Amino acid sequence: MTDDRIDGGDAPVGRRLISLFTDGACSGNPGPGGWAYILRDGPTKKERAESGGEPMTTNNRMELMAVIEGLKALSRPCNVQLYSDSQYVLQGLNSWMAGWKKNGWRRKSGSRFEELKNADLWKILDSLKQTHDISFHHVKGHAGHPENERCDVMAVEAAAKFR
């Protein structure tokens, strides 16, 4: 580990393969929330797990923060396999973001545009997405996926600190 972040190896040529597992939790929506991630370096299998939270937030914000904090923990550009149970995060990154960005970080609502919720976090993710090559993997929440279950426990514990 370098600088307490996962060292992505030599980049951009030969980018390191990293698995990023994430989850967010909220007690009430809005309410106290927590996020968590597990980073696993493909070649070395070294792991880093972190969590945090906010006193008044939403579940979607915590799902986004888990991904942001996980990507920010990488010290170099990497090939990242992102595993999340949040369709909001995965669809946003993989499908919707390009349109939001094109429309000034607004979304279409009927025949007009409206403010995009969590635009501040989507803009951060957009920047991080430019740094890393990310592939997207949906995991079913609360279905026994070991890393997703571990992230869920960490996120719930982080949220509990604000109750």
- Residues carrying an active site annotation: 23-24, 63, 85, 142, 152
For the chain, state the CA radius of gyration.
16
Give, for 32, the enclosing helix (H) or strand (E): strand 31-41
- Residue 54 carries which side chain, given as an amino acid letter? E
- Residue 63 carries which side chain, given as an amino acid letter? E
Token pair, residue 105, equals 């970080």
Whole-Å CA distances, 3 to 6, 21, 36, 75, 118: 8, 21, 20, 8, 29
How far is residue 108's CA from residue 113's CA, in Å, rounded to a whole number? Answer: 4
The phi and psi torsions of 147 (rounded to 5 degrees) equal -70, -35
